[in-house]
A and B are shown apart, each in its own frame.
Chain A
Amino acid sequence: MFPQLYMVYAFIIALGSGVFGALLGLGGGVLLVPLLVFLLGVPIHLASGASIIAVVATSSAATVTYVKEGLTNIRLGMFLELATTIGAVSGAFLASLTSEWVLRVVFGISLLYATATMFLQQRRGERSRIRRRNDQLSEMLQLGGGYFDAALGVDVTYGVGRTPLTFAVSYLAGIVSGLLGIGGGGVKVPAMNLLSGVPMKAAVATSNFMVGVTAAASALVYMRNQCVNAFIAAPVVLGALIGAYAGARLTNRVRGAALKNLFIVVLTILAVRMILSGLGV
């Protein structure tokens, strides 16, 4: 296959991942990496390398909007980033030492976890009771926040609870991000929302802000370890950016539930395939 054609395919795959990622509020990385691996035969290290660069781009772009809307809790994000960035650097280093097959299995398992979370979320819904008061640590650091919810037309204020636990989980999110080349939002958002009681919109916005910083830390390690092929990463970055932009635009016009179910099925299939291929089946 001519390199140029290869690049066009990578662009299209990234475009699709970007659109669906934005539509469903899940990072494109979890879809992007398996598709690059299975449709284009890209080695998983390079797929993750391309993905992590794209993740910096898409999360930075999304954060522009979220910050403008006042949803991002910069203090909370910055504090949790202490854990996440250390995790990311550890994870990225670990990735360069890990074989293709082990990474595939780990990726598949993480993907299964993500789909399970999505599935449960569909049934249980997000945490509707917003935490009012900070716990000790978050009170000391003043991590609680507030924003104006344009959809509901009210001011929402919240405190942050179980901060040490969320901090620890953020470290895990960082490792996952660095190891697999994904954003890690799938771990961060539930941690902030379900563990700490941060309202969903603020959790998503803050996660996006965090993901950019985390992915930047991972990306540098990936680049150093020769895991970023410019001619794969470049079309992927552009595709992901355009796709995410288009997906965000389409959000209001598409019904979420049916699409989400389809997404869950597709991701589960990809996850199982990842695990099986990693195990040599």
Chain B
Amino acid sequence: MGAALSKILRGGVLLSAALVLLGLVLTAVTADTSSPYGSTELSWILGCDPFLAPSHVLFLGFFALVATPVVCVSASIIVFLRERDIRFTLIASLVLVILLVSFYLGIG
């Protein structure tokens, strides 16, 4: 479990740091500070912006970051299942549900 979590966490942080860095570079280069608050509409997040608006890239970075613990919890559910630990499979699943609810509440 520990090894898997480490990898997920490290990967998530690096990915989001790269996206944030890219976004900041784009901001510096284009001086485009539009949409600072972004939008949590799924269509905006996943939409392909041909001109890569800096705020879009930045928010992608933030979402990657926030998704990381979610992936961790999901991975732990799988591990608990494999260990036949029904109680913790349930507990971790409940935590995931709460996270997804907050995601849903945060989307649109």
A interface residues with partner B (beta carbon < 8 Å): 3-4, 7, 53, 56-57, 60-61, 63-64, 67-68, 70, 72, 74-75, 78-79, 81-82, 85-86, 88-89, 92-93, 141, 212-213, 215-221, 223-224, 226, 228-235, 237-238, 241
B102 touches which of A57, A74, A85, A228 (Cβ 8 Å): A85
Interface centre among B73, B91, B94, B95 (most CB of A within 10 A): B95
B71 CB to closest chain A CB (Å) equals: 10
- Asked whether, in the complex, the Cβ of B6 is within 8 Å of the Cβ of A60, the reply is no
Cβ of B6: which chain A residues have Cβ within 8 Å of it?
64, 67-68
Task: Classify the secondary structure of B's interface with A.
Answer: helix
Between A and B, 10 residue pairs with Cβ closer than 8 Å are A57-B16, A60-B13, A67-B9, A78-B95, A89-B105, A220-B103, A223-B40, A231-B55, A237-B65, A241-B17
B interface residues with partner A (beta carbon < 8 Å): 1-2, 5-6, 9-10, 12-13, 16-17, 20-21, 23-24, 27-28, 31, 33, 35-38, 40, 54-55, 58-59, 61-62, 65-70, 72-73, 76, 87-88, 91-92, 94-95, 98-99, 101-103, 105-107
A15 CB to closest chain B CB (Å) equals: 14
Task: Classify the secondary structure of A's interface with B.
Answer: helix
- Asked whether, in the complex, the Cβ of A82 is within 8 Å of the Cβ of B9, the reply is no
- Asked whether, in the complex, the Cβ of A231 is within 8 Å of the Cβ of B9, the reply is no
Cβ of B107: which chain A residues have Cβ within 8 Å of it?
220, 224
Cβ of A79: which chain B residues have Cβ within 8 Å of it?
88, 91
Cβ of B23: which chain A residues have Cβ within 8 Å of it?
230, 234
- Asked whether, in the complex, the Cβ of B17 is within 8 Å of the Cβ of A230, the reply is no
